[in-house]
Structure 1
Amino acid sequence: MRGVLLDALGTLLELRDPASALTAALREDHGLEITETQAWAALGAEMTYYRRHNHRASDPERLADLRRRCAVVLAEQLPAPAGEIPLAELEHTLLRSLRFAPYPDVRPALLGLRQAGLALVVVSNWDISLHDQLRETGIAELVDGAVSSAEVGADKSSPELFRAGLRLAGVGPQDAVHVGDSLADDVGGAHAAGLAAVLIDRLGTQALDADPQAPAPAAVIGSLGELPELIRAWEGTPPDPSPAGGPADPSPAGAGRPGAPGS
């Protein structure tokens, strides 16, 4: 094992209570009172739109356009008075409501992986501001590089994003593993690119048996802190991408959590 690709949101970064932040920002900036339920509904629509289009935000102009369109979606989903807020102001309110922070286990885990001599590259469905977020949250200094779907022009449903990450890491798929929190995007996407994948299930809620034909993770972990030990256990025998129908046995030493959480 020579390299590790890492998802960003849900793996390295968490989005800090955006509904509370949005309700407070709307009150402070515009005198608009909404409930957190209304905030979550509007944010859910905005995030869905963002996920579908973030790979197109490949330069500052396209990013600015995407953010404007996301603000439009938000305005359409909020109570009627939100439609009276100038769009540029609502966009500002939205952006300051989206606060990212690294999970507490991230820094020690990444330091441990670096000390083991592994190349670390962030691979994420994100716009070109990914690099800014990684710098602002202190993650950029702990990894060897990062690549977003916007830079490649394709999200994790395409092998191209993973291949770009492997090129940055300077390793082939047989010498690397991808770690992420989505069965479809991270496990399925990595598998399509010839990579073994580790699923991080921080809440213990992933339904691994939902689709018996879907590619299975090589291992499941509940914290990034489990990853260095799991990779040490794989030394000399890196996992193959697991076929559908069940996770691979990640290690004879029992590191990580193969299969469903708690198994």
Structure 2
Amino acid sequence: MSIARLRRPRAVFIDVGGPLYDDDNYLAAAMSAVNGLRAREGRPPAPAAEMRALYDAVRNGEEPSIRTALAREFLGDPARRGELHSATRPLWVHPPGTLAPDALPFLRGIAGSAVVGILANQEAGVVDALRRDGVGDYVSVWGVSALVGHEKPSAELFDWCLAEAGVGAEEAVHIGNRFDNDVRPAHDLGLGTVWVLRGEAPDDPSPSERAVADLVVPDLVGLDRVLFA
């Protein structure tokens, strides 16, 4: 870890699910999609507790992908993950009241100190939700995968956001909650990294995983002061 790498960045990028909105929004959409596909086949709804347990297994590294795991366990074939993804997309929304309570205070705390960007694998409708909830007032770079055409963990989405912000990787910080999609790729590209342990983050990351991030935090409270002390 190197807190010094985080000091006074010129750009701050932030993921949506986890840092800003409850990741249960995605899980609820995926569960509804699973049950919609099962209903078409005349099958009863899948047990919610079992789908939640599978989600937790994915969070904690016991399964590689929530879509693949759900398709395998509840649709009978992991190859149906693409079908499940298509069914989930229109259901994946961020309802009013699901914005994290520390999101706007954090954004107010860094306003004017750096370019702020969204860097997230999300559907295009997330822009409307972020604007509705006041986040859009602070955002200059909209690195939303459905709009840009690239998805994390590929370097292309990070590179696009850096170019839009007009900064180099060493001048930017990325805040995310997934090791594979956020911390590791941002670190490898040279960005400072903040790992927020909520939502899809594991309950207890390994020491080797923690060592990759420059800072590991439970939430966004006080993070503005860490970045711009």
TM-score range, shorter chain: 0.5 to 0.7
TM-score by length of 1: 0.58
Q: Which runs of 5+ in 1 are unaligned?
A: 27-31, 50-67, 75-90, 234-263
Instruction: Measure, in 1, the Cα distance between the counterparts of 2:166 and 2:223.
Output: 20
Task: Give 1:168 shift.
Answer: 2.3
State the match for 1:5 in structure 2.
13
Instruction: Measure, in 1, the Cα distance between the counterparts of 2:114 and 2:142.
Output: 15
Instruction: Measure, in 2, the Cα distance between the counterparts of 1:121 and 1:69.
Output: 31
State the match for 2:183 in structure 1.
187
Instruction: Measure, in 2, the Cα distance between the counterparts of 1:181 and 1:72.
Output: 24
Instruction: Measure, in 1, the Cα distance between the counterparts of 2:12 and 2:181.
Output: 16
CA contact (8 A) 1:109 1:225 kept: yes
Q: Secondary structure at the match of 1:171?
A: coil
Aligned pair count reads: 193
Query: What is the CA RMSD across the aligned residues, in angstroms?
Result: 4.1
Flag the structure with more relative contact order, 1 or 2, with Cα contacts below 8 A and sequence separation at least 6.
Answer: 2
CA contact (8 A) 1:199 1:219 kept: yes
What is the aligned counterpart of 1:113 among 99, 110, 135?
110
Q: Which has the larger radius of gyration?
A: 1
CA contact (8 A) 1:15 1:98 kept: no
State the match for 2:101 in structure 1.
104
Go from structure 1 to structure 2 and tell me whether the alpha carbon gap of 1:161 and 1:214 turns closer, same or farther (over 3 Å shift).
farther
State the match for 1:37 in structure 2.
49
Go from structure 1 to structure 2 and tell me whether the alpha carbon gap of 1:37 and 1:118 turns closer, same or farther (over 3 Å shift).
same
State the match for 1:205 in structure 2.
203
Q: Which runs of 5+ in 2 are unaligned?
A: 1-8, 37-42, 59-64, 69-81
State the match for 1:81 in structure 2.
none
Identical aligned pairs, as a percentage? Answer: 26
> Which digits, 9 at most, give the CA deviation of each residue in 1:50-72, with x for residues without a partner?
xxxxxxxxxxxxxxxxxx94387
Partner AA of 2:12 in structure 1: V
Instruction: Measure, in 2, the Cα distance between the counterparts of 1:232 and 1:97.
Output: 32
Q: Secondary structure at the match of 1:199?
A: strand
Q: For structure 1, which segment, 105-114 or 198-207, has the greater mean C-alpha deviation from structure 2 after superposition?
A: 198-207
